[in-house]
Chains A and B, each alone.
Chain A
Amino acid sequence: MEMPAPDTAVIARRDAVAARLRQALGDPAAVITDPVETRAYECDALSAYRCPPLMVVLPSTTEEVSAVLRICSEEGVPVVPRGAGTSLAGGSMPTADAVIVGLARMNKVLEISTDDRLVRVQTGRTNLSVTDAVAGHGFFYAPDPSSQLACAIGGNIAMNSGGAHCLKYGVTTNNLLGATVVLMDGAVVELGGPMGEGQGLDLLGVVCGSEGQLGIVSEAVLRILPQPAGARPVLIAFDSPVTAGACVAAIIRSGVLPVAIEFMDRPCIAATEDFCGAGYPDCEALLIVEVEGTEPEIDEQLFLIRQIAQRFDPLEFRESRSAQESQRIWLGRKSAFGAMGVISDYMCLDGTIPVSQLPHVLGRIAELSQECGLGVANVFHAGDGNMHPLILYDANKPGDLERCEALGADILRLCVEAGGCLTGEHGVGVEKRELMSAQYDPPDLEMQMAVKDVFDPEWMLNAAKVFPLAVSAPRRGQNAA
C-alpha cells in the first residue's frame, strides 16, 4: 500500500503548530506530540497499515474543532479526523505530516426530544451509548454496526455505517436528521433540519459517507425509534448455500419484513462451533432470520417464514422459545469473526451484490478460492446482499498476503460485475482506493472529486484516500503519476 510522501516542511514546523493549537485549546493535554503517545494513533482497525501522525489533537467542543481546523488550514497542515478508530478500510489512518483530530472527548448527549423522536449528540459518542441514553424513554437508535460497542457516531456518519438490522431500519443516512459540520477553513455549518431536510441541495446526504473528506462532523441529530415490543430469531439450516440464497429471496418477496437475515456457510459454522459451541446443525449453510413485534405478531410472521422455508427442504427449522435460546442462535453469528481469527489470519471483504445474484456469486467465489489456493469463509447480511467473504491466509508465510490481496480484489471486481459494489459498509479508505476505477469511470470520479473541491479546495482533509492515488494527485498538489 502506497501513500504520498509526507510534507517535510510541515513536519519541520511541528512544534510551532503544536504551540498554536495548545494555546487555542487552553489544555496542554489536548495536544499530544510525544511519539510514545502518538503511536497509539498509528492505525485504525485496518492494522496492516501504520504510520504515527505528526500529532494528535483532542478538542471538546465544536468551537474547538473549528479553532483547530482554522489553525491547521492557515499552517497548511493536513488533517485526519478520527472517531474511535474502528475503521476497517484505513479511513482514519494517519500520515506523518497530518494532525489527527480525535473525537474521543466529545461524547456528550446535548438533547433528547422524544416528542420530536430525535437525539442530538457530540459525535465522539459511541453508537451503542446513544441507544443507552434513550432506552429509558422506550426508544433506540437503529443503525447497529457490529462494532457498535466501540465505534463513534462520527465514524458511522463518515462511513454511512449499517448493521444487521438495516434491512428494516436503513443505514446511517436514513437515520441522520442533521449535523454540525466544521469545514477545513474553520467555518461551522448546520446541515439538515427537521426530517433531515436542509435548504437547497441535500448537503447532509453527501457529507454522510464522505469518509471524513468534506468536513468534521462535530454534532449530529439522530432519529430515534420506539423500541419494538419484542424480537425472536429462527435458525434455518440447508444442505447447500445456493438453496439458502434462494430462500432469502423468497422471504424478501413474500411481504414479511424481517429485521435481519444473516447467512453463514460451512467453513464459518465449523469454526464458530469449535470456538463457542453454539450448537448449530451440521449443514452447508444456515440463515438466522429475526422478526419483531408482540408475541402473537411474531408467531404470525414466523408461521409464514416457516411455510416459505419448507419449500426449500431445510435440514432444520429451529425456532427460539426463550431469551436464552435466542441468545444461542445469535451466539455463533456474533462470534464468527473472532472464531475465524482463532483458526487463521484472515482478510474480511465487504462487497455488496443484488440478492438475486447470491447463488452465482457464491459459486464463483468458491472457484476463485480453489484457483488461488486460499480458503474463503462466508458470513454476511444476506437480506441486503452485503457479503463479507473472509479470505484465510498465513501472515507469516511469504507471498500469502499478496495472494490474499489479489484474491480479494478479484472477488470485489466480481461483486461489481454482478451488479453490486466494492463496499457496502466499511468504506473505501486506503484499502479499496485503487479499485474505485473498477466501479466508476473517470467522469464519475471527477464529479465526486469536484464535490471535495467545493468543501475543501486545498484537499487538506483526509486526502489520499477514497480516490485512486494517480487520479487525485493533481488536486493534492502532486504531479499525476
Chain B
Amino acid sequence: MQPENEEELAAIIRGSNGPLRVTGGGTRLYPGEMGGSRLDISAIAGITLYEPEALTLVARAGTPLADIQAALASENQMLAFEPDPRAGSTIGGVAAANASGPRRLSAGACRDAMLGVRFVTGAGEVVKNGGRVMKNVTGYDLVKLMAGSRGKLGALTEIALKTAPVPPARATLSLSGLDDAQTIAAMTTALSGPSDVIGAGRLPDGRVILRLEGLPGSVELRAKALKQMLNSYGDAELTEGDTDFAILRDFAQNVTVPLWRIVLRPSQAAPLLSQLPGRHAVDWGGALIWAEAPPDWMPVLPPGSRATRVVGEAASLPEPDAVTTRLNAGLRTKFDPRGVFGGEA
C-alpha cells in the first residue's frame, strides 16, 4: 500500500486491522520489525518549507534523506544532527529511528533537532505537535515521543527540523596504539577541556579520532592545543576534513554478521571493550559501542547500560522494569488503540 498523501494514509489506517509495517526506504528496520503488511509512505514526499536564515526545514516524511541533504548543501547548511546516509533512506525513517551519528556527542541526537511533527495515529487520526521554532514549550513534547518510536505509535507524515551552517573548517586528530583504557582516557581528557571537540571515537583499525570544526583560525589553534593536551598518549596526527568520521558514522550499515549496539557511561566502557569477541567501533566519547559478535554471544552489561542487537536475531538487554513497561504499553494503547502497528514492544 502506497498512499499519495496524509488523508489517504489516514483512510488506509482507519480501514485496516493490521498488523501494518510503516516504512519509508525500509533501510533502518531492526530485527523483528519486518512483519505485517507494508505501508509505504515514500510517496508522501517533498520539502514543504526551507528557511535558511531561521535554520529550519520542514519536509514530508517520505522525502529521501539525500534530497534534503542536497537542498541544505545548496545553502551551505546541513542537518543539525548527523544521520548515516543509507541509500534509499527517508527523513521519516531517520526520525522514527532517531538516527544519530558521531555528532550526537556535542550537537545532540535526531530527537534534539526535531522541532515538530505531523503523524497519523493507529486510530487514523491526524495529529500535530511542536512546530517549527527552536523554543517551544506549548503543551507536551510529543515530538520526542515520536522520535525513535519506530513506527509503533503512529505513521509520521511531516517533520520540522533544525539545520545548521556547514562549519567553514574541519580537522581530525588521530592517535594510534592505545589500549582500551587509554582510548577512553584520551577521549575523556579531550572532552573535558575547552577545545570544543565535536566528535570522539575509535575506528575498527584501532585509531582514536577526534573532530574539531569552526572558523579556520580557531580550528588550527584548538588542534594545536589539543595535541599538546594529549601528548602523554602519543603524537597525534592532524588531518584536514573529517572523512574518518564517515567510517564511524557508517559502521553499522556495512556489517553482515550479528551486531550489537551498546550504550553506556564512558567510565564503564574499557572493561566492556575487553570482553568483545570481534570487530567493533567506539563512538560518542566511549558512550556508544558497536560490536560484531557470534549469534550466541551476549554482553555482560554494567549497571544502567543498554544493549540491542540491531543486525541478526532480535535481542535487547536488560529487560525494562515493570513501571517503564507499563508506561510504554499504556502509551502504545493510547496512540494505537486497535493495535494495528506491528513490531516488538
Contact = CB atoms under 8 A, between A and B. Distances in A.
Contacts of B76: 255
Contacts of B137: 159-160, 209, 423-428
Contact of A300 (B217, B288, B304, B328): B217
B264 A194 contact: yes
Interface stretch (B26-34, B121-129, B171-179): B121-129
Contacts of B153: 201
B108 A174 contact: yes
Interface stretch (B83-91, B236-244, B330-338): B330-338
B127 A443 contact: yes
Contacts of B112: 170, 173-174
A420 to B, nearest CB: 5
Interface string B294-311: 000000000011100000
Contacts of A440: 128-129, 138-139
Nearest to B191: A117
Contact of B335 (A183, A423, A432, A447): A447
B165 A206 contact: no
A73 interface: no
Interface string B140-171: 11111101110011000000000001111000
Contacts of B247: none
B287 interface: yes
Interface string A202-241: 1111101110000000000000001111000000000000
A48 B305 CA distance: 46
A165 to B, nearest CB: 12
Interface residues of A, number: 97
B135 A166 contact: yes
Given A116-B265, A194-B264, A421 B131 contact: yes
Interface in A282-302: 293-294, 296-297, 300-301
Contacts of A451: 140, 142, 145, 331, 334
Contacts of B135: 162, 166, 171, 352, 381, 384-386, 424-425
Contact of B144 (A170, A205, A255, A447): A205
A7 B240 CA distance: 68
Contact of A200 (B51, B141, B328): B328
A355 B53 contact: yes
Interface stretch (A102-110, A185-193, A368-376): A185-193
Given A443-B127, A455-B327, A195 B284 contact: yes
A420 B128 CA distance: 14
Which of B109, B148, B321, B327 has the most C-beta atoms of chain A within 10 angstroms of its own C-beta? Answer: B327
B141 A421 contact: no
* Binding site secondary structure of chain B: mixed
Interface in B93-118: 98, 104, 108-109, 111-112
Contact of A354 (B56, B139, B266): B56
Interface in B257-288: 263-267, 284-285, 287-288
Given A159-B137, A197-B306, A201-B331, A115 B266 contact: yes
Given A195-B287, A200-B345, A206-B145, A301 B215 contact: yes
Interface stretch (A55-63, A245-253, A338-346): A245-253
A453 interface: yes
Contacts, number: 264
B141 A203 contact: no
Which of B112, B128, B138 has the most C-beta atoms of chain A within 10 angstroms of its own C-beta? Answer: B138
A356 interface: yes
B19 interface: no
Nearest to A248: B53
A357 B259 CA distance: 47
A53 to B, nearest CB: 24
Interface string A300-312: 1100100000000
B53 A428 contact: no
A202 B144 contact: yes
A422 interface: yes
A295 to B, nearest CB: 10
Given A113-B267, A160-B137, A352-B135, A249 B54 contact: yes
A174 B265 CA distance: 17
6 contacts: A118-B265, A194-B306, A202-B147, A208-B141, A354-B51, A466-B140
Interface of A: 113-118, 138-139, 159-160, 162, 166-167, 170-171, 173-174, 183, 187-191, 193-206, 208-210, 226-229, 249-250, 252-257, 293-294, 296-297, 300-301, 304, 352-356, 381, 384-386, 419-428, 432, 436, 439-441, 443-448, 450-455, 466-467
